Amino acid sequence: MVPTWGTFSNNKRKALHFLVPQKRIGYTIPNLLSFLLTLNVHPFTAACQFAPKDTILSVLPYGSGNVHDTFRVTVGRVEENQFLLQRLKAGIFQNLEEVMHNIRIFSEHARNRLENSPLELGRRWEIPRILMTAEGSDLWKDGDGFRWRAFSWIDQARSFDAVQDLNQAGEIGWALGIFHNLIHDLPLETLFDTLEGFHVTPHYLRCYDRVLSQKPPGKSPELDFALLFVKDRRRIVAVLEEARNQGYLNLRPIHGDPKVNNVMIDTVSGQAVGLVDLDTVKPGLIHYDLGDCLRSSSNPLGEESEKWEAVCFKTELCRAVWEGYLDRAGEFLTDYDYAFMFEAVRLIAFELGLRFLTDFLEGNVYFKTGHPRQNLIRALVQFKLTQSIEEQEKEIRAIFRKPG
């Protein structure tokens, strides 16, 4: 267990800081202290922008997101007893108003769809509500210029950093299917492109080349493996973008980050009840989503495993996710969509490895890290996964063969 921290205020609103053991966030004590020092504006102060100060009971770090800082706020109110608070990392999204616009447009559209054609009896599907500040804004700017926002909590649900079993894999595929089903008829022109180059792998390769040309890499067997791995795969990076340029694949509204721990699972029924983290809802290829969902949910060791050499792509999990997905979204897949599925899974696993590796070489500026080599290990996990996908190409292609 590594320590993380929390803030507690009693009913007299006296804030008190303490360390509590919490497994999911990879902070060491020095690292934690430096994180705290970066937070000049206390999360408690930020939470007070979204709920009356005297109702807030605690503000605790939450989840394992790699970019923003996320907190779970507990509130002593009957109507809303918890909410999610986030401090948004600066320098990632150019225009946060546009990010919030996309989330709002998607949420309204999906809620209307669900109202007009509800899911079958017994299934719930939750779309987090954006909470407003007392001034009626969906973002709050602190004194350091950071933006904060809040969302309603999804009750009786949790997420997992790695898939637990075949049934859960099916639920994860089903969740992405529902999401694509709900979003596919949202007109593209209603959405901003909030993160240019996101999932455009040739763009990430250019960034990698630029970083390498500016900073000579150090030397270690792991790094040598990673550099060689990229060198051997330069020819595959454009496969989806070329398919798009040639008109085989088209832009559609996508989620952008449907990895396993963004799917909320009902703690009682085990059913998927929501797909959260809507930051990257924007135009893209559904293959980015499918590749991301499948690369993350077919790796039972998870993205943060230190045992990178043991990482393996499990085809039975892949099959279960895919079947769950087809159940909800199969009807709008074209023949070309099927044809590029293997390429998508291999590419998005490789792309994430490339992004982690570039960040490691650049000095860990993009993804949050708990130790300096974490991004290198994360890259190796994705490269091993890519290798495992390549080794099972025949079997994986067979899974994605169009039925009938």
Q: Using CB under 6 A, pick the residue from 58, 66, 181, 299 that binds ligand GN1.
A: 66
Nearer to Mg ion, 43 or 63 (CB): 63
In this structure, what token pair is assigned to residue 395? 């079997």
Nearer Cβ to ligand GN1, position 181 or 369?
369
Interface mask (CB under 6 A) for ligand GN1, residues 346-375, using x and -?
------x-----------------------
Instruction: Select from 245, 352, 334 the least CA-distant residue to 293.
Output: 352
Only one residue has tokens 């990632």, namely 92
What residues have CB less than 8 Å from 31, skipping those under 6 apart? 370, 371
Residue in 138, 277, 351, 359 binding Mg ion, rule: CB under 5 A: 277
Q: Which is nearer to Mg ion, 200 or 239 (CB)?
A: 200
Using DSSP's 3-state secondary structure scheme, residue 60 falls into strand
As a whole number of angstroms, the distance between CA 360 and CA 218 comes to 11
Paired with 274 in beta bridges are 264
When asked if residue 65 is in the footprint of ligand GN1 (CB under 6 A), the reply is yes
Helical packing angle, 315-329 and 286-297, nearest 10°:
140
Residues 205, 326 contacting (CB under 8 angstroms): no
When binding is defined by CB under 6 A, the residue of 126, 303, 337, 359 that contacts ligand GN1 is 303
Report the residue number, 159 or 386, with the smaller CB distance to Mg ion.
159
Which residue has the closest beta carbon to Mg ion?
257
Residue 128 interacting partner from Mg ion, ligand GN1, none (CB closer than 5 to 8 Å by kind) = none
CB 357 within 8 A of CB 375: yes
Distance of CA 115 to the CA centre of its chain: 27
Rg (CA), the chain: 21
Three-state secondary structure call for residue 96 = helix
| Touching Mg ion, residues 237-276 (CB under 5 A) | 257
Q: Which stretch binds ligand GN1 (CB under 6 A): 11-19, 38-46, 60-68, 245-253?
A: 60-68
48 counts as binding ligand GN1 under rule CB under 6 A:
no
The single residue among 280, 298, 299, 369 that binds ligand GN1, judged by CB under 6 A, is 280
Return d(Cα 243, Cα 400) in angstroms, integer: 17
- What is the closest distance, in whole angstroms, from the C-beta atom of residue 194 to ligand GN1 in the complex? 9
Q: What phi, psi does 76 have (nearest 5°)? A: -85, 60
CA distance 175 to 142: 35
CB nearer to ligand GN1: give 25 or 48. Answer: 25
Using CB under 6 A as the binding criterion, the count of chain residues that bind ligand GN1 stands at 11
Nearer to ligand GN1, 133 or 159 (CB): 159
Nearer to ligand GN1, 56 or 377 (CB): 377
**Which residue number, 195 or 205, has a Cβ lying nearer to Mg ion?**
195
Please state the separation of Cα 218 from the chain's center in Å: 30
Helical spans, DSSP H, in 42-197: 43-47, 96-116, 166-183
The correct pick among 2, 15, 67, 312 for binding ligand GN1 (CB under 6 A) is: 67
Least Å from the CB of residue 125 to ligand GN1 = 20
- Applying CB under 6 A, which part among 161-169, 221-229, 276-284, 324-332 lies near ligand GN1? 276-284
Helix (H, G, I), strand (E, B) or coil at 19: strand
Q: How far apart, in whole angstroms, are the C-alpha atoms of residue 281 and residue 304?
A: 24
Min dist. Cβ of residue 278 to Mg ion (A): 9
Residue 289 as a binder of Mg ion (CB under 5 A): the answer is: no
The least CB distance from residue 284 to ligand GN1, in Å, is 11
111 token code pair:
């809620």
Q: Which of 4-12, 62-70, 138-146, 169-177 is the region at the interface with ligand GN1 (rule: CB under 6 A)?
A: 62-70
Nearer to Mg ion, 257 or 303 (CB): 257
What are residue 218's phi and psi, to 5 degrees? -70, -160
Can you tell me which of 171, 277, 289, 359 binds ligand GN1, judged by CB under 6 A? 277
Q: What is the largest CA-CA distance in the chain?
A: 66
Which residues bind to ligand GN1, rule: CB under 6 A? 65-67, 92, 257, 259, 277, 279-280, 303, 352
Binding site for Mg ion (CB under 5 A): 257, 277
